[in-house]
Structure 1
Amino acid sequence: MLKKLISHPISRLLLLSATALSITGCSQKITSVNDTVRLAVQGTADVHKSAYDIAQLPYASTYVRINNQSQLFMVLALAESASGETITHAASKASAPHVSPPQLKWLASDNGMLVTQSGRIIKTVNLSEGNLLATHSNSADPLALGLHLATTPKQWQRSVDWQPGYHSGYQLDSVFVFDHAEVLTINGKSVPVLRFNENVSVKQLNQHYSNTFWVEQRTGKVIKSLQYIAPSLPSVEMTILKPFS
């Protein structure tokens, strides 16, 4: 439900507050808060951007739908390494494969934030229904390795912390199962994808739920996802329109 996000008009969702992180030097060249104000769209109905408009924006962008509410349009504010260093472009990882994938930060007007890594939501901040505080794992996320590859493990284990309540160190066991191949139409283009379901078990709570990831057939990059922020928090659907590059 995340009422704090949903109740705001799109124009307020896209507006970065005056306290937003400085991103001077980022390849997306967001030089001031006013840059994102120009992207505002009034109203709470589903937002749809034309392929031309998306291509013209100097930002990575995504559609976001929270708990089946109105579709939102968000832009990427900042890309950082796990150590907090600003990353200027996604290709920077290519020369250093041992480096963790960038953490992409999508900000709302009230400082609400979604943080994704390899297409997975790994942290949220300032959401009214609660927040995923941290995600920990001793092994690489199969999403980062590429689910399209036969060599990628299809089982994974991580622990998460979230609020409200004292939920710390809960173990999540995941099994990725290939569903089927299909073609998505995104930003006016046909994208061949492989659909995988991530079946998640939370033994400490005796709970089970499922996330879904659509990965590009050739690169394995997550193009679309439907995932739960945490076991007791809402689902978020994300569709990448213009990837971070």
Structure 2
Amino acid sequence: MISAKIKKLNIKKKKFSLFSILVCTIVPLIASCSTSPLKENVVSNSVKNFFTSNLWVNSFSKVIFGYPDYPLTREMVEEIPYASLRIKIGKGPAGLMILQEKEDEKYSWVSKDSVLIKIQDGRIVRTSNLNNDLVDYYYAEDIVFEGLVKGNIQLKETSGNITLRDLIKGNISFREIINLEKDKYYYSTRSISLANPVVRGLNVQVYTKKEANEVIEILGRKYEVILIKEIVENKKIAWKHENLYWVDPETGFVWKSLQQIAPNVPPISLEITKAPSI
């Protein structure tokens, strides 16, 4: 009888230890990215429920099939003391990722099963633990969505598409795109490297264009944004797709996007549910 009680106590202690390890490992990593200070009662309730629920993205192994989204509300997001985004890959279930860190203007978002997505200026620039990962991304000519223009930037007189050479000295910025004439694209190139299959330095052509002014809603909050479209193409492998970005016209912050990082990865939908305070 005594032996059975001791065994029962040991089991309970083991369960508690596993949860303690989870919290002690993850919380310090993301505490610096919290949008509000951690409080003891928050850690014991909201955070505990968050870590142990399926609301935090649990698996990317079945993204090609359709699954119902996990219920997500503004109240639930606000209770979590971290910046967060809603992610949906292909027809898979939607869930949350939380901000792990910010380094060199790159925001690292992490899921429950260690999927990592790095975002810079609204674009996905690196991933880890997907079916095919984006392992390198060279983007010297990309339009910068986030941040303000330094100085006055003007376009030279030109017909057709705008290229990097058509811009007078200064920062290339999202603001150049919103001032482009109708049906005129900004042309650039980028180079990407993938993990499965291994591809190094795949060059793609990118045509960026302002589409329309829109109002979007994310968990009950409305945002006035400008929809920016990228047409990304590599003719050698017959890969062509569109990336969409819903961008704040004042700050260049990307609130929502739909991006494809590789031919064999379904489009990734991202919505910022709680913006970083850093």
Match of 1:197 among 229, 241, 244: 229
Partner of 1:39: 50
Map residues 172-191 of structure 1 onto 2, 5 A cutoff.
172-191=204-223
Please state if 1:146 is matched with 2:171.
no
Find the structure with the greater CA-based Rg.
2
Partner of 2:165: none
Partner of 1:109: 112
Secondary structure at 1:133 match in 2: strand
How far did 1:103 drift?
Answer: 1.1
Flag the 1:18–1:234 CA change in 2: closer, same or farther, 3 A: farther
Partner of 2:123: 120
Partner of 2:132: 130
Secondary structure at 1:38 match in 2: helix
Contact 1:172/1:201 (8 A) holds in 2? yes
Flag the 1:22–1:36 CA change in 2: closer, same or farther, 3 A: same
Q: Deviations over 1:134-153 (max 9, x none)?
A: 101233443343256427x8
- Letter paired with 1:199: I
* Distance in 1 between residues matched to 2:258 and 2:95, nearest whole Å: 14
Contact 1:157/1:172 (8 A) holds in 2? yes
Flag the 1:53–1:24 CA change in 2: closer, same or farther, 3 A: closer
How far did 1:72 drift?
Answer: 0.9
Greater fraction of residues in helix: 2
How far did 1:30 drift?
Answer: 7.4
Flag the 1:165–1:193 CA change in 2: closer, same or farther, 3 A: same
- Letter paired with 1:122: V
Flag the 1:159–1:114 CA change in 2: closer, same or farther, 3 A: same
* Distance in 2 between residues matched to 1:200 and 1:117, nearest whole Å: 17
Contact 1:17/1:111 (8 A) holds in 2? no
Partner of 2:245: 213
Greater fraction of residues in strand: 1
Contact 1:158/1:172 (8 A) holds in 2? yes
Partner of 2:72: 49
- Letter paired with 1:38: N
Secondary structure at 1:23 match in 2: helix
* Distance in 2 between residues matched to 1:17 and 1:76, nearest whole Å: 15
Q: Deviations over 1:158-206 (max 9, x none)?
A: 1000021221000111111222221111232221111121101113323
Partner of 2:269: 237
Partner of 2:99: 76
Q: After superposing the two structures, state which structure 1 stretch, 153-162 or 66-75, moved more.
A: 153-162
Aligned residues: 208
- Letter paired with 1:80: E
Flag the 1:25–1:190 CA change in 2: closer, same or farther, 3 A: closer
Q: 5+ unaligned residues in a row in structure 1: which ranges?
A: 1-14, 82-101
Q: After superposing the two structures, state which structure 1 stretch, 217-226 or 34-43, moved more.
A: 34-43
- Letter paired with 1:134: D
* Distance in 2 between residues matched to 1:16 and 1:113, nearest whole Å: 17
Percent identity of paired positions between Structure 1 and Structure 2: 24
Which portions of structure 1, spanning 4 or more consecutive aligned residues, are displaced by more than 6 angstroms?
A: 15-19
How far did 1:211 drift?
Answer: 0.9
Contact 1:156/1:174 (8 A) holds in 2? yes
Contact 1:154/1:176 (8 A) holds in 2? yes
Q: CA RMSD in A?
A: 3.0
- Letter paired with 1:146: F
Contact 1:16/1:111 (8 A) holds in 2? no
Q: Return the TM-score normalized by structure 2.
A: 0.65
How far did 1:123 drift?
Answer: 0.6
Q: Deviations over 1:107-132 (max 9, x none)?
A: 123322111111111111112x1111
